[in-house]
Each structure stands twice: as C-alpha cells, then as structure tokens.
Chain A
Amino acid sequence: MLIKLAFRNIFRNFSRTFLTFLSIALGLMFLIIIDSMLTGIDQESFDRIINYETGHIKIFDRGYREDEENFPLDKAIADPAPIIKKVGEDPDVAGVTSRINFRIMLSDGIDQYPAVGIAVNPADDQSVFLLRQAVAKGEFLRSGEAAMLVGEGLADDFGVDVGDYLTVLTRTKYDTYQAIDLRIKGILKTEDPKIDWSAVVIPLGVGQDSLDMGRGVTEIDIKLKEPARIEEFRARLAREVPGMEIATWKDLAADVVAIAKAKRGGTSFVLFSVFVIALIGISNTILLAAFERTREIGMMAALGMRRGQIIRLFVLEGAMIGILGSITGCLLGVLVNIPFVQYGFDWGFVMRDVGDIGYRVTGVSRGVWNIKMIAIAFVSGIVISSLTSIYPARVASKMEPTEALRKA
C-alpha cells in the first residue's frame, strides 16, 4: 500500500521529483568523475614505476640493495634459472623475467653522458614490464642481437635516431673496461624520466657476454596477478628462495610513494569538498521538497494516517528517488568516465603557446576505475536521500493536522 502511494506521490509532482533526482544523479556523477581523475593522477606515478622500473616484486642477491647505487655486478644472482622456474610455477605470479642493471657512459665520440644500462630478456620482459609497448619509434630488441633501445631524452641529447650507432662504455663484473658499439633499434618514450632521460636497454645475452657475467643477472622481476596481496606473497617468496633479498615496488620507490602520500593529502581534501557540495545539494533539495509538503502531510494525518506510516512513506519516497538518482548518477559517471579512462586527457595542447621546446611531450592524464568510490557514491546517494526525508516528515507529522493544513 505504502509503496503504491509512494510511487503515485513521486510521479504526481514530476518537476519536484525530477529536480531531486537531478541533484542526486549529477552530484554523484561529478563525485565519480573527480575521484577517478584524482585517483588517476595519484596512480599514474605508481604505474610508471611498476611498469618500467620495478615490477611488483624483485629478488636480489643478498647485499645488493645496500650497495645499489654503485650497481655492484659482483653481487649478482649467478644462476637465476632455477629461481625463475620456481617462481614462474607459483599460481599467484603473472610473469617473471630477469635483468642486469649496470652503470654506463654513453658516447657518440664527441659527447659523453652517464646513463644506466638495462639488459633485458626480450623473450619474457613483456610478461612483467611494458617496455615493448613504450617503443615510440623503431622496434623492440630480439634476443642476442647487438642493438639497443635508448630513452627519448638521451636520443635527443645526442641528436641520434633509429639506425645510428652509439658506444656504450662500461666495466665488466671484473672491472675491465668494456666498450661496445650498438645500433639504435628503437627509441623509448615512457613518461618515466628515469627511462626517457637515462636508460639504455640491450638484450640480456649481449649484456651477460659484455659484462662477463656468465648466466648471471642482478635481479629477478616478478609481476603478480593480485598486487594487493603483495606482502603475503613476499613472505612466501622469502621462504621459497631463502638467502636472497626481496623488495617490493614500495620499498624500491620509497620516494614516489612519499610524494604520492603528500599529494593524496591534497586530493582527499579536494574530494572531501566535492563530497560536501554534493551532500548539501542533495539533502537541501530533498529538505526543500519535503517541507513544501507540510500541507500534504496534514492532509494525510487528517485522513487517519499514523505518524510512523507518514515517516515511512517519506523515507520510502526518498529511497526511491535515491535509488533512481544513484543508478543514473553512477551510470552517467561511468559513461562519461569511459573515454577519460580509456584515452585519458591530453594536456599536450597546453604547450602550443609555449612554443617549440625541442622535444615532443604529451601529458596524458588518465582516469582510473575506483570501484570503491562508485559503490560509496551509490550507497550514499540512497542513504542521504532516505535519511534527509525523515526530518521534515517528523516535524510535519508532529503538527496538528489543522495546523499543518494551514501552513504554506
């Protein structure tokens, strides 16, 4: 009975219902979009680090991390194959690969720049990292070929392009000078300054030979199927491969995590403000609508409806509009957000008025699906609209029917 009445009430005054509905729907839509954008900005730097530098978790030889800034090739994992095999069989592991990081001087015979060499295994690097997708020009490496990929910034510094040669000067594991001329096979563009401005990527085999490393690697990199359970996995890994050093991306990118934390302080403040606006918008609209119905309530009371029933009726109406608004709001939010998540928003156009700055930059910010926020938005839309309906109903139903009827 009540439901039917609520339905009738909702549709009877269409413009009122529509306005309330609109305030819920639009409020939630904005909440979802803004949150997605903010989370996207936060997430971006993490993704870059994980995708290009750290993976989710890394295995090092004991003592490597302590001396990490010196790229100690003598603290390498001499025989990584059994570990890679063992890790690869773990059901939680999405991908595993191995790398050698080494210090180099890159030279074209005129200029020299210090850089970081990364020897990657072309066969399985993409199971953990996104370097293959980051090749902006040219092609990715093939196993064993004497070629390299260089970051876009480095390539710009030297004024070189795909097909040109550069000399990689380094030291072997035994500190013997090593200099190899390699053809540039591809240019990397990752938006990760550590890669774009200082990375030289070569095939693992070439690295192992030139650095006199045998089959050794400096690290084994792992990508997980469920990154959220990383600590659990780390504990298990420590048992499975004893005597090694294990570090998660959070350990490896402590700086970035700290910056993001600081940024999140700012973003949650913004988000909170957005939430407040949406909340006020929704609740005030509902309150306004409900208070305007004091006369109606008096009528109902006069017709013999009990107070509890009246309140329930109002809450029910509020909930109905809330559900409708929440569904629409979330749906709209998600729909509007799709291109933003899919393609991101390119701020590159901003640079046009700055003039030619010598290299191509795109600043694409992408949204991120934050299911938690969508759920929160959905639930709060319904809860707010039902709860705020209680108060005016209570106030009005407390009045004598005659008084209520006289009002407004």
Chain B
Amino acid sequence: MFKIALRNIFRNKRRSVLTGLSIAVAVMIAVYLWSLISGIMDDLFDNMIRLNYGHVRILNTDYVKRERLLPLEANIKDYQAVARLADADRNVTLTVGRIKFGVLLEYKGKNKPVFGTGIVPENESPISHLDQKIVEGRMIEMGKEEMNLGASLARELGLKLGDTLTVVTQTAYGSITAMNLKIVGIFSYGVQSMDKTTFFIPLDRAQKLLDLENSATEIFIFIKDKNKGPEVAKEIRAKLDLAYPGKYMAKAWQEQELLYFYMVIARNVYAGLYFLVLFLASFTILNTMFMSVLERTKEIGMMKALGMKNRQVMGIVMLEALLIGTIASFIGAIWGSGIAYYLATRGLDFTATFETMGTINFPISSVYHALFSWGIVFFGFCMGILFSVAAAVPPALRAAKMEPTESLKEI
C-alpha cells in the first residue's frame, strides 16, 4: 500500500509539487513568524527583567509610588542586612543593591537628563550582562571613580574612552554634589533607552556622591525560576513586614504595573495576530489538500474498479496525504528555520530609526532578533502534517463511498 501511495505521488509530480508547495510555504511562514514574534517579546521581557526590575525587587514603600521621580530619600538603609533576609530564601540565587539616580548632564549649553546607576560590578554580569556589552575599554571597578557610558550617549556628547566627565546632581538631602568620573568603558545594549541615556558607576561611589552611605534605592533579587516571582515576592514581603514593619516591600517583575501591563498587551496582540496568520496558513493547507484529493476522484474510481476495498482506498489516499504532508512540512520547516535562524543571528535592524528618537523608557532592542528554537520548528512541522492529513479525510471518505462507475464518469 505504501508503494502504491508513493507511486501515485510521483506519477503526478506537478500536482504533488503544487500541493506540497502550499504546505511548505504555510509551514515556513508559521515557523519564522512565531520565531520572530517570540524573539521580540522575549527580548522585551528579558531586557525588562535584567535592566529594570530583576526577578523580585525590594524597595522602600515610599519609593514605589514615586518611582518615576527616583526619590533618593526613600531608600533602603543598611541595605545589606535587608538583602540578607532575602538571601535566606531557598529560591533566591542572587541579591544585589543598586542606586538609580537622575543627572542633568550639561554639554554645549544644553541640559540632557540621563540616568546613572550605582552597581556592584562583580555581580553585574548575571544581571545586566554588562561585561558582555562593553564594546570598548573595560568594566568599572569598585572603589574607583569610574564610569561605563552608553555608546549613543558618548557619541552624542562627543566623549571617548579615557575622558573625565563631571557629574553634577543633588544628594538625597538636596545638596548640590559632584564627582569626576573617568570613562573606562563604553557599552552598547542595542536598546536605545539604555545606550542613549544611562551610565554605570560603582555602588560605593554612588553612595558617596548621593550621601547615601550603606544605602541602596533598590535590591534586585534573582531566583531559580522566574515564573515563581510573585510567590517568592510574597514570602520576602512577609519577612520584611516582620523585620521592618511597613517600611520596605518586595515586588516581582510580573507585578511591575504599567510597563509589564503594556508588554503583556503587546504580547497578546502579537499572539492574536499570529493566531490569525496560523489560521490562514492551516486553511491554505486544508484547501490545497482538499482540492488535490478531490481532483483524483477518477483515479480512486479506477482503484476501486480494480477491486480495492473502501478501507484500502481510504488508506491509500490518507497515506498519500501523509506522505506529501510530511515531506512538504519537512521542507517548509527547514525553510522556516533557515529564515528564523537568519533573523535570530542577523536580526531586522531598526537602529537608524531608534537613533532619531528621544528618550523613551521602553527597553526594546533596536534590532529585532528572532528566537530560534527547535520547538517552534517542530510545532510548524506537526501542524503541516496534521492539517494535510485532516484535509484528506472528507474527500477520501467521499471517494471511498462512491460506486466505481460513478467516479469514473466524473472528470
């Protein structure tokens, strides 16, 4: 039976190729579109976690409401003791204090608002991957008056490695304060909100600059399973409430309100879109397959006339569909993964467009990278086969039921 099916497929090459082409293209598009969409979304969430929120974040209760103003006075005193509370949790893999502050950089008589972050450099690589994002120079070191500057910002201000920049800002208590910081490294995340408006300095220098000895404004916590964010946050909250009633609170990245909300919406909009595309793709497969089987009514009649049983006829038709579906889906999956792989490694580059834009606090990369995953490829492959076979069922049933003479009559 397998032989007959195979022979049938090769006998009418053109039909097989056309049917297969539809299936392959549909599978291909399903594969690379999903890769691209999940790539963009993963990048967005990943950036959000690594750059803005951590998995869980401890904040001063007063900080939460006014976060957009970066209120330094609402800080975490003796932050290491607070961090130790979280460290005790078995889900927690890393805790690290940070201070984020606003600075008005003056250049050529114009003021440019930028954000500085005080970090512990040796803890930074698992968080923001800063070590991998340094394109020139090296990372800052604790205790030294040094900074790592965003590439776009450096270009805009005409600063280069080795230059010293005076950062003037206000302390947590409102005094004017300043520090000379040497640019020892320039980073590029490919995220404009980072590259264009931020710099990193060692945490202890930030504490000195801002009159925040032993304090941090936020504690980033990383946990084993990021999906458990809310649960872990809840546990840490309970501990905080016990030790510092009403003073500090913990928030999971999923609880980060507005930005998270917009991202979830974006993800769902794209998922909805993808669903529509998938629908169209599967319809295309169904329709082509249906047509292909339908046009073979005569052949089926012939088979029956030669004494084949209904079940056998159906089996052959289905087997053919399965064969074409499998081969075409395989080809489509390869094409799709090829494109997806290209998009994953090279990406769709929108840097030029993002360069022209002002400061927006949306951590989206200027290069859209697809997420290449065999899971997606496999899904596309299975989808192709499934719809090919499913599409063959009704015409196969019909053909099997037909009287031989009847089907022969039809053209």
Taking Cβ atoms with an 8 Å cutoff, the residues of A that contact B are 13, 15-16, 19-20, 22-23, 26-27, 30, 33-34, 37-38, 41, 111, 113-114, 157, 193, 197, 254-255, 258-259, 261-262, 265-266, 269-270, 273-274, 276-278, 280-281, 284-285, 287-289, 291-293, 295-296, 345, 347, 350-351, 354-355, 357-359, 361, 363, 365, 408
Contact present for B357 and A23 (CB under 8 Å): no
Pick from A13, A280, A358: contact of B284, CB under 8 Å: A280
A296 touching B277, Cβ below 8 Å: no
A288/B291 in contact, CB under 8 A = yes
Is there contact, CB below 8 Å, between B268 and A262?
no
Q: Given that A281-B284, A288-B15, A291-B14 are contacting pairs, would A255 and B357 also be in contact in the complex, using a CB cutoff of 8 Å?
A: yes
Asked if B18 and A288 make an inter-chain contact with CB atoms under 8 angstroms apart, the answer reads yes
Quick check: B22 and A284 within 8 Å, CB to CB? yes
Interface residues of B in 21-38 (CB under 8 A from A): 21-22, 25-26, 29, 32-33, 36
What is the distance, in angstroms, from A217's C-beta to the closest C-beta of chain B?
A: 25
Q: Which residue of chain A has its CB nearest to the CB of B62?
A: A111
What are some 28 contacts across the A-B interface (CB < 8 A)?
Answer: A16-B295, A19-B290, A23-B288, A27-B283, A30-B277, A30-B283, A34-B277, A37-B273, A41-B269, A113-B66, A259-B357, A265-B368, A266-B348, A270-B277, A274-B280, A276-B25, A276-B29, A278-B280, A281-B22, A281-B280, A281-B284, A288-B15, A345-B272, A347-B268, A351-B264, A361-B261, A365-B269, A408-B12
Contact yes or no, A19 B261, CB < 8 A = no
Residue in chain B with minimal CB distance to A193: B258
A285 touches B287 (CB 8 A): yes
B217 located at the interface, meaning its Cβ lies under 8 Å from any Cβ of chain A in the complex: no
A16 & B294 in contact (Cβ 8 Å cutoff): yes
**A23: contacting residue among B36, B276, B287, B358, CB under 8 A:** B287
Known A16-B295, A265-B353, A295-B411: A277·B280 in contact at CB below 8 Å: yes
B357 near A30 with CB under 8 A, answer no
Interface of chain B: mostly helix, strand, loop or mixed: helix
B276 CB contact (under 8 Å) in A30, A193, A363: A30
In the A-B complex, the 5 residue pairs with the closest CB atoms: A281-B284, A258-B357, A292-B295, A363-B265, A262-B350
Nearest B residue (CB) for A265:
B350
Chain B 214-268 residues near chain A, CB threshold 8 A? 230, 254-255, 257-258, 260-262, 264-265, 268
Which residue on chain A has the smallest CB distance to residue B354?
Answer: A262
Interface centre among A19, A33, A273 (most CB of B within 10 A): A273
Distance (whole angstroms) from the CB of B49 to the closest CB of chain A: 15
Q: Does B356 contact A (CB under 8 A)?
A: yes
Determine if B157 is an interface residue (Cβ-Cβ < 8 Å). Answer: no
B139 at the interface (CB under 8 A from A): no
B279 touches A30 (CB 8 A): yes
- Beyond the given A26-B283, A30-B276, please list 13 additional residue pairs across the A-B interface where CB-CB is below 8 A: A254-B356, A259-B362, A262-B353, A265-B350, A266-B368, A273-B277, A277-B284, A280-B26, A281-B284, A284-B284, A347-B269, A350-B265, A354-B261
Q: Judging by beta carbons under 8 Å apart, are B348 and A269 in contact?
A: yes
Taking a contact as CB atoms under 8 Å apart, the answer to whether A157 and B65 are in contact is: yes
Could you list which residues of chain B lie within 8 angstroms of chain A, going by C-beta atoms? 12, 14-15, 18-19, 21-22, 25-26, 29, 32-33, 36, 40, 65-66, 68-69, 230, 254-255, 257-258, 260-262, 264-265, 268-269, 272-273, 276-277, 279-281, 283-284, 287-288, 290-292, 294-295, 298, 348, 350, 353-354, 356-358, 360, 362, 366, 368, 411
Contact residue among B69, B353, B358 (Cβ-Cβ distance under 8 Å from A113) = B69
In the complex, A278→B163 CA distance in Å?
56
Within 8 Å CB of A157, what residues of B? 65-66
Q: Which residues of B contact A30 (CB under 8 A)?
A: 276-277, 279-280, 283
Q: Are B269 and A280 in contact (CB under 8 A)?
A: no
Contacts of A296 in B (CB 8 A): 411
A265 to B343, CA, bound (A): 14
Question: Contact between A27 and B280 (Cβ–Cβ < 8 Å)?
Answer: yes
Report the bound CA distance from A347 to B261 in whole Å: 10
Contacts of A19 in B (CB 8 A): 287, 290-291, 294
Whether B14 lies near A254 (C-beta < 8 A) is no
Q: Report the number of A-B residue pairs with Cβ-Cβ less than 8 Å.
A: 167
Give every chain A residue within 8 A of B257 (Cβ-Cβ).
357-359
Contact B279 A258 (CB under 8 A): no
Instruction: Given A357-B261, A363-B261, check contact A274 B277 (CB 8 Å).
Output: yes
CB-based nearest A residue for B280: A30
Q: Across the interface, name the chain B residue whose C-beta is closest to A363.
A: B265
Contact: B354 with A258, CB < 8 Å?
A: yes
Shortest beta-carbon distance, A340 to chain B, in Å? 11
Chain A residues contacting B353 (CB-CB under 8 Å) are: 258, 261-262, 265
Distance between Cα atoms of A278 and B276 in the complex (Å): 12
Assess whether A350 is in contact with B268, with CB atoms less than 8 Å apart. yes
- From A37, which residue of chain B is reached at the shortest CB distance? B273
Per the bound structure, the CA–CA distance linking A259 and B261 in Å amounts to 19
CA distance A277 to B288 in the complex (A): 12
Contact of B29 with A273 in the complex, beta carbons under 8 Å: yes
Query: Which chain A residues lie closer than 8 Å to B255 at the CB level?
Result: 354-355, 357
Shortest Cβ gap from A230 to chain B (Å): 20
Task: Report which of B288, B358, B368 forms a contact with A281, defined as CB distance below 8 A.
Answer: B288
A274 CA to B26 CA, complexed, in Å? 9
Bound: A270/B370 CA distance, A: 13
A267 CB → nearest B CB, Å:
9
Q: With A and B bound together, what is the CA distance between A23 and B254 in angstroms?
A: 42
Q: Bound state CA distance, A269 and B14, in angstroms?
A: 30
- A296 and chain B: residue at smallest CB distance: B411
A280 proximity list for chain B (CB < 8 A): 21-22, 25-26, 284
Assembled-state Cα–Cα distance A387/B404 (Å): 36
> Closest Cβ of chain A: how far from B112's Cβ, in Å?
11
For the complex, what is the distance from the CA of A311 to the CA of B258, rounded to whole Å? 60
Q: Please, which residues of chain A bring their CB within 8 A of the CB of B269?
A: 37, 41, 347, 365
Does A26 contact B280, Cβ atoms closer than 8 Å? yes
State A358–B368 Cα separation when bound (angstroms): 32
Query: In the complex the two chains form, what is the Cα distance from A269 to B65 in whole Å?
Result: 39
Q: Contact check: which of B29, B40, B290, B348 meets A277 at CB < 8 Å? A: B29
Known: A265-B353, A269-B36, A280-B26. A351 touches B281 (CB 8 A): no
- Chain B residues with Cβ below 8 Å from A365 are 265, 269
Q: Inside 8 A of B264's CB, which chain A residues have their CB?
A: 347, 350-351, 354
**Neighbouring B residues of A361 by C-beta, 8 Å:** 258, 261
B73 to chain A, nearest CB (A): 12
Residue of A nearest to B64 (CB): A358
Residues of B within 8 A of A355 (CB): 230, 255
Kindly provide the distance from the CB of B39 to the nearest chain A CB, expressed in whole angstroms: 11
Decide: B18 and A277 in contact? CB cutoff 8 A.
Answer: no
